[in-house]
A and B are shown apart, each in its own frame.
Chain A
Amino acid sequence: MILKSLQLEPQHGWAIARRIRQMSSDILHVQQGSLYPALSRLEHQGWISGTWGVSEQNRRAKYYALTRAGRRQLEKESASWERLAGAVTQVVRSEG
């Protein structure tokens, strides 16, 4: 999901959190802080890369961007997610 939120443009942590909240229409309400260990993990797997920059409010902020490997991973994951989602939908339908 973090990868998805970075698909369009590099973002900093706060923006990613906001975006995830928007995307999931406030349904998924995780503890906000746990975003950071997750980001750290993704970075160490080489899927995203972080660079320090200056945010809209003129503060130092770390911007995360998808790497090429990250983009491939996103495609793979959304594909498998769609397959899973599709399967679930079918199961639900066939029962209905």
Chain B
Amino acid sequence: MRTWQVFRLKLRALLRGGTVDRDDREEMESHLEHLTQEFIEQGDAPPAARARALREFGGVSQLQEQARDARGVRWLTDAVQDLKYGVRMLGRSPGFTAAAVLTLALGIGANTAIFSLVDTVLFRMLPVTRPEELVFLRIAGGGTPPYPFFDRVRKDSSSFSNTAAMAADQLRVEVDGNIEQVYGQIASGNYFDLLGIQPVIGRLLTPEDEKLNPPVAVIGYGYWQRRFGGDAHALGKGVTVGDLTFTIVGVTASTFWGLDPGSQIELTLPITQAGSLLAADTWSWYSAIGRLKPGVSIGQATADVDAIFQRFMIDTEQSAERRARFARMSLSPAGRGSSGLRTRFEQPLYALNAITVIVLLIACANIGNLLLARGVVRAREMAVRAAIGAGTGRLIRQALAETLLVFLLGAGAGLIVASLSIQALTKFFAIGRNPIVLNVQYDWRLAAFAAVVALVAGLMTGVWPARRAARVDPQAAMKDGESRVTGSRPAAATGRLLVAAQIALSLVMLVTALMFLETMANLRRMDLGFNPSRVLTMSLDVLAPAEERGAVRRRLWQTALEEIRRLPGVRAASLSVLTPLSGRDTGRPVTVAGYQPRDDRDRSVRLNHVSEDYFRTFGIAMIAGRAFSPRDSAGSPKVAVINEAAARDYFPGRSPIGEILDFGTGGKYEIVGVVRDHKHQNLRQVVPRFAFVPLWQPINPVTRITLAVSSEQSTGTTVAVVAQVVRGIHPKTLISDVIDVQDQIDATLVSERLLSTLATAFAALAITLATLGLYGVLSYSVANRRAEFGVRLALGAHPNRVAREVLRSVWPPVIGGIGLGLALAIPTARAAQAMLFGVAAGDVQHYVLAIAMLALIAAVAAWLPARKAAGTDPVVALRTK
């Protein structure tokens, strides 16, 4: 009751301070009147009585002030007052406010956007129950033992309260008579239960569902929205995968995308869909996850699982080679999901983070400079306030409140910048055949991050200028004139120091940006060994009853190639299992007479099944022999083409033509040609040994095929026409992964492109800010010295001399900044070395170019103030004093 009353009073004092003040005033006034009345009754004349009453009563204003103190909300009302005043002052200089808020919006926005990326990719825990208990069960070095091992872990291990297996892949499915591609997984029946995922509607998988009687499926929230418009009628619909039709029984929660950050699981089927794979001696086709029992450490569980693994290796009589390669089990925390994306983007993201922090520092330096300049301009105002009794502390708080207000406004605008940038950034990732889809969450954490950054940066920037501004000598400040010049000296010195720091940071950014640009250019200029321009690729897959499938496929392939080659503008068309830089890979052990493999892995060669014209479509040059022709058909002698790397390794110093590649059960192939090496998985990879065999003489059964069309027509036209042709031959054909090879290359360069694009953008921003800072400091000092310049010009000084002097004053901060910048840039470049390509951290030309650019920009920034100084009109300058 009492607490409530007190709280209400404080709240009222806080919110309705004016009313409370008026009430106090009225109360005292009424007392005064009583007192006056009393004195009048005692015989005083009314005016004298009033005066006496006032004397008796004491100073009304002071008493009111005491009453205000008594309310105990002083600091808060002061803060509110400071903020109100701040808003007024900012409103009075909209130019300053706009410049500062815009600068900060970019600085804070960039940081917030990168923070959200870093958070999404590197830090965020999976939205599952107690993620810290989850571990992946893997072989040290990657991969998983055959599935029967997993069954043993389930039965024999005492470390886990639950374990589940899953395997994700692009699936071709038929829904409502349409064939389409979804990113799906097969998973143990207890998968969702282990993770603690709830359905949005329906139910999730149970161990009972592993019996596939009836077959059921669970779909992801994203797929539900995209494919079924979030309609509850999706439940009960059939999804045909392979030969089984699964009934959709539920939809997973919207926050859960699967265990693999960067991709979104759209469909989950019981793991038993894999059929015979579960009993096979196939390695590494699934992933396994376990939930540790409370109190069991990861080390204990590893020992437990490894013991089961070693017994499994002995019981299943694995070869010595396998035992050497798969030595032991290793458990790793799974709370953040699988680590692929993290490993790939950790370094580039930290680099981006560093870059954005530098941008923010430069922005802060700029605002610090603006604040200092403002502080000097407002010295009189501060002096007046000090003279009428404001304490230094109060003045500092006032100035700080204003700064923080600017920073918070900047943070608000920064959030808008951030959300736009995040959209652009996620688009950056989401390209290629296997787009990286980021599950970025716009939640309170972004706003909190922006607010904290704003407060820290604001305090960092604001404290010093505020202290300076508050340290005024009222007397000196009131005497306008020379005091303004002398008073500005330390501020100008600090200003120059800040400019030097900005230049130093800009240099670091510029050097890094140049190096990333060069890296990108090197990668782009790189000889790929094939010609990617105007080649369009797409996956084809047919849906037909199992017994007809093979024949349907062959007919589609052959007819489609013939018809597409006849289309106008088409230079060449081919079919192949792999295409350059598609990210896919297949290999097969091979025996070559005279070649002794070093180990198990060295035994294999990369293998591609290709139709005739494959090399022509991709512009891959023949080095020797011939390419495949339509005569290399199912019935003709088996032939192969190899690449230079294979020729070098297998047949050093002699011609490979006529030699034999022995694929064991796959058959023997005679080498008829050698092609140039061309990039396979990514641009940095050393080209591996490759063998090509005709599509019509397959070693493995070929199911999924990529159609490549080199055409003079635009991509859109080609896609439309080709799709028409293909569907004309067999209507139930899934055409997926349609992508220009050039775009596919871009997809393999996500992190490089991200870094070079953003580093360049931020370097441009940094330089712009530094230029503005330099210009600001100079024009401010010119404005301050107008009188001096006026006098000197009046006494006959040559305008050029004055201009030169101003120009010269630029050099100390610029040169100092460049020196400092070099000292910072060299170690920065070293740290970034791993992300560079064809660029050394010590390459001088980048530093020289960066310095030259900064010097030029500094000269330009100084030019205007210098001209202004030279053009000072003595009469005007002296009159305005």
Contact = CB atoms under 8 A, between A and B. Distances in A.
Contacts of A40: 24, 66-67, 70-71
Contact of B23 (A32, A62, A67, A68): A62
A62 B26 CA distance: 9
A31 B28 CA distance: 13
9 contacts: A13-B27, A33-B58, A33-B59, A36-B28, A36-B63, A44-B9, A44-B70, A44-B71, A68-B2
Interface residue tally on A, bucketed by range: 20 to 34
Nearest to A15: B34
Interface in B55-97: 56-60, 63, 66-67, 69-72
Nearest to A29: B56
B56 A61 contact: no
Interface of A: 12-14, 17, 31-38, 40-41, 43-46, 49, 52, 55, 59-62, 67-69
Contacts of B71: 40, 44
B629 interface: no
A43 B34 CA distance: 23
Contacts of A45: 6
A11 B437 CA distance: 73
Contact of A31 (B13, B58, B70): B58
Interface in B1-26: 1-3, 5-6, 9-10, 13, 23-24, 26
B758 interface: no
B808 interface: no
A36 B24 contact: yes
Contacts of A43: 9
Contacts of A31: 56-58
B63 A34 contact: yes
A76 B58 CA distance: 31
Contacts of B27: 12-13, 36, 61-62
Nearest to A43: B9
Given A33-B59, A40-B70, A52-B23, 7 more contacts: A13-B27, A14-B31, A41-B70, A44-B71, A46-B3, A60-B26, A67-B1
Contacts of A35: 31
Give 4 closest A-B pairs by Cβ, nearest first.
A33-B58, A37-B66, A41-B70, A46-B2
B74 to A, nearest CB: 11
B72 A44 contact: yes
A32 B2 contact: no
Interface of B: 1-3, 5-6, 9-10, 13, 23-24, 26-28, 30-31, 34-35, 56-60, 63, 66-67, 69-72
Nearest to B25: A36
A85 B26 CA distance: 38
B70 A33 contact: no
A69 B2 contact: yes
A37 B69 CA distance: 8
Contacts of B9: 43-44
A59 B33 CA distance: 11
B6 A44 contact: yes
B34 A14 contact: yes
Contacts of B34: 14
A68 B4 CA distance: 13
B93 to A, nearest CB: 39
B70 A13 contact: no
B649 to A, nearest CB: 90
A45 B7 CA distance: 10
B22 to A, nearest CB: 11
Contacts of A69: 2
A19 to B, nearest CB: 13
Contacts of A34: 58, 63, 66
A14 B599 CA distance: 105
Contacts of B30: 12-14, 55, 59-61
A46 B63 contact: no
Contacts of B13: 44
A44 B60 contact: no
Contacts of B10: 44
Of A17, A40, A44, A49, which is in contact with the most chain B CB atoms at under 10 Å from its CB? A40
A55 B71 CA distance: 25
Contacts of B26: 60
A96 B290 CA distance: 91
B6 A32 contact: no
Contacts of B66: 34, 37, 40
A50 to B, nearest CB: 9
B31 A17 contact: yes
B596 to A, nearest CB: 94
A36 B56 contact: no
Contact of A32 (B5, B24, B56, B59): B56
A68 B3 CA distance: 12
A34 B60 CA distance: 9
A96 B5 CA distance: 50
Contacts of B59: 33
A5 to B, nearest CB: 15
A32 B58 contact: yes
Contacts of A52: 23
A35 B5 CA distance: 21
B3 A32 contact: no
Nearest to A59: B30
A55 B63 CA distance: 23
A37 B67 CA distance: 4
B35 A49 contact: no
A44 B6 CA distance: 6
A40 B21 CA distance: 11
A32 B70 contact: no
A46 B26 CA distance: 22
A17 to B, nearest CB: 7
Contacts of B28: 13, 33, 36
A53 B31 CA distance: 15
